[in-house]
Amino acid sequence: MTLIRVLEIENFRAIRKLRWLPGPGVNCLIGPGDSGKSTILDAIDLCLGARRSLSFTDVDFHGIDFDQPIRISVTFGALDEPLKNIDAYGDFLVGFNAGTGIIEPEPGAGIETALTLQLTVRSDLEPEWSLISPRAQAAGRTRNLNWADRTRTAPARLGVTGDTHLTWRRGSVLSKLTGGKADTSSELTRLAREMRDAFDQAGLKELDDSLKLVTAAAGEMGVPVGAAVQALIDAGSISFTGGTISLHDENGIPLRSLGLGSSRLLIAALQRKAADKATTFLIDELEYGLEPHRIIRLLGALGAKEQVPPLQVFATTHSPTTVTELSAHQLHIVREKGGEHIVTRASDAGDVQGTVRAHAHALLATSIVVCEGGSEIGLMRGLDQHFTAAGNRSLAACGATLVNGNGDETFSRANALQSLGYRVAILRDSDKPAPAAAEATFLAGGGHVFDWGGGRALEQELFAALPDGPAGKLLELAIEVKDRALVEAHVKTISNGATSLSDLEIEVLLDGLSPDSRTLLGNAAARFGWLKTITTMETAGRTIVGPAYDDTDISLTGVMDGVLDWVADGAR
C-alpha cells in the first residue's frame, strides 16, 4: 500500500511553509477555523490527483505574492513494484529515514525506498508536475509519473457531497473498484442510437409550422433537404460518459438521492472495499451530515480501530465526537506559528489521551481557559452572556473555550493542553497554594495564571467585592438554590451562633454589609457550596455580577478583565 510519508507545502494559500510527516492510518486534522486544515487536503489532492491540467489564480499564492512559486511535494513510501521500476524511475528513487524524518539522496540499507512528486506553479499559473531527486537534478533529468501510476496513486476525495463516487465517473471509488475497466462506450452508443430512433416528432405539433417554413425556405434557396425537414434528436449532441451509469436501489431510485449522511457512509465503505486499488482517502468535514453514532460507524469503516490500517486517511473535523473516538496518535493539531504552519501529532506530547477525551471540545479552540471548578466556568459564561448582550465580542467569537480543572487537577490538565501547543490560561482560587513544580512548568511554557487576591476563593471574592445591593441579591440566590433553613443553619455554624440570616438581610437593607458580615457570607458560601454549580454561578454572572460590574471592586474586576483581555489577544 503506497503511503504518504512527507508532505511539504510552500506559498500555497494560507500556508507559507509546512513540512509534515503523517501516519499510515487515520490522520485527522483539528484546530480552530481558518488554521489551514482544508488547505492541506487541497494540496494533497492537487499534487496527486490524476488530472492533466489545473486552473490556478493569483489568490492561490500565499499573500497573493505570485513572484514566489507554489511548491507542493509529496514523498511516497511503501512503494509497489511498478513504482520501484529501475528503468522507469531509477534516477528518481530516494530514501526515507523514518527515525529522523529526513529524505536521503539515495535508497540505502535501513531506510525506505521512496519517490518525491512535486507540483510547481509559477506566475504564469501553469502547473508542472515532476519527480525530483538530487541525482536526477544533477544529471538534468526530469519526468513525471506514468499516467497509469498517477491514476493508481491518485487519492479519492469525499467533500460535502459525494454524488460522483456513486457513478462510474473517472476517479470515482466505483471506477477504482472496477480497475478503470468499466468500458461501456459501445453500449452507450447503441442506447443513444435507439433513443434517436424512438423519438416521436409527431408528438411535437407546435413544431409543424416552423418545419414547413424551413422546408419552403430551403426549396427557395435550392438547399437539398428532401421533401420535408424533420425535428429529430441530433446523434452528435447525445453525450454519454461514465457518469451516466450510476447506482440505483431495487426500485430504480438513484442512490444519489440518499440522505447526505447515508451516502457518505456508503462511499466510505466502498473506499474500504477499494483499498487495494486506492489507498489514500481525503474527507472534508468528516462529521458533515452525520449524527454521533454514525460518525463512529464511519470511523470504523475507515479502519480507525484496526491495528493494521487498511487505508491512509486524511480528514478534517470540528466534531468533539470524532476527537473523542480517535486515539491521540491519529489526531494532528494544525496551527500557524512564527510565519510557518506546524502539524503536531497529539501523542507526541506524551500521555494526553485522558485529557483529549475529557476535553475534546478544547482541541477545536484557539485559546483555552482552565477554570479551577464549575463555579469559575459558570461565572465566565454568565459574564460572557451579559457582555455579549451589550454588544461586546463573545468568548466563542474569540475562539476561546472553558475547561473544568476539577480542583487539584487544574495545573496537570493545563500542562497537558499546553504540551499540545495550545494557548492556555488558568483561572483559580488562591485559598490553597498552587503545586510549585506544576506551576513553574506551566509558566515556563508561556501559560498565564489569574487568581483572586488575599487567599480568597471565588465565593469569598464575590461577597467581598460586590456592592451591597448585588451582594444581597447573591444571598437571595443562595437561599433560592439551597433552601432558607439550610442557609440559616450554615450562617449560625460559621458565626458560632452569633449571627442569624435575618440579621444579615436587615443589615443589607439598612446600613449595608459590614466587612465582617461580608467575610462571614463568603466563608459560608465557600464552605457549604451555596453557588458551586455551573448553572447557579452562570445565573449570578449574568443577572448580578455583570449588571454591577462597573461598581464592583477592582479586586474582582481586575482579575476578570485580565482573563478577558488575554482571550481577546488570542483572537488578534
3-state helix/strand/coil string of 489-503: HHHHHHCCCCCCHHH
Q: CA angle at residue 355 from 529 to 298, to 5 degrees? A: 120
Do the beta carbons of residue 378 and residue 546 sit within 8 Å?
Answer: no
Separation of alpha carbons 449 and 418, rounded Å: 13
Identify the DSSP state of 248.
B
Residue 180 located in a structural domain: no
The verdict on 191 and 99 lying in the same domain is: no
The verdict on 118 and 215 lying in the same domain is: no
Identify the DSSP state of 155.
P
Separation of alpha carbons 72 and 277, rounded Å: 24
The verdict on 142 and 208 lying in the same domain is: no
CA distance readout (Å), 563 to 68, 369, 474? 40, 8, 23
The verdict on 210 and 132 lying in the same domain is: no
The verdict on 409 and 558 lying in the same domain is: yes
The verdict on 223 and 149 lying in the same domain is: no
Number of compact structural domains in the chain: 3
**What residues pair up with 316 in beta bridges, in sequence order?**
29
Q: Which of 193, 226, 242 is the last residue of a domain?
A: 242
Separation of alpha carbons 460 and 124, rounded Å: 67
Half-sphere exposure of 234 (CA within 13 A, CB side): 3
The verdict on 415 and 482 lying in the same domain is: yes
The verdict on 381 and 523 lying in the same domain is: yes
Separation of alpha carbons 106 and 95, rounded Å: 5
Q: Which of 202, 217, 242 is the last residue of a domain?
A: 242
Identify the DSSP state of 373.
S
The verdict on 197 and 66 lying in the same domain is: no
Tens digit of each residue's pLDDT, the chain (572 residues): 799 999 999 999 999 999 999 999 999 999 877 789 999 999 999 999 888 778 999 999 999 999 999 999 999 999 999 999 998 999 999 999 999 999 999 998 889 999 999 999 999 999 999 999 998 888 888 899 998 899 888 888 876 555 566 666 666 656 666 665 555 556 666 666 676 666 655 666 776 777 777 777 777 666 676 787 777 666 555 555 555 666 666 676 666 666 777 777 777 777 666 656 668 889 988 888 888 988 998 898 888 999 988 889 999 999 999 999 999 999 999 988 888 999 999 998 888 888 888 889 898 898 999 999 999 999 999 999 999 999 999 999 999 999 999 999 999 999 999 998 899 999 999 999 999 999 999 999 999 999 998 899 999 999 999 999 999 999 999 999 999 999 999 999 999 999 999 999 999 999 899 999 999 999 999 999 999 999 999 999 999 999 999 999 999 999 999 999 999 998 87
Number of Cβ within 10 Å of residue 528's Cβ equals 19
Q: Is 0.85 surpassed by the pTM of this model?
A: no
Q: Which domain holds residue 74?
A: 3-22+51-153
Q: State which H helix or E strand residue 75 sits in.
A: strand 70-77
Q: Burial of 563 by CB count in 10 Å (0-12 exposed, 13-18 middle, 19+ buried)?
A: buried
Separation of alpha carbons 567 and 572, rounded Å: 9
The verdict on 91 and 236 lying in the same domain is: no
Helices (H), 359-432: 374-389, 410-419
Tell me if residue 120 falls in helix, strand or coil.
strand
CA distance readout (Å), 329 to 277, 287, 333? 25, 19, 11
Residue 538 located in a structural domain: yes
Separation of alpha carbons 114 and 95, rounded Å: 5
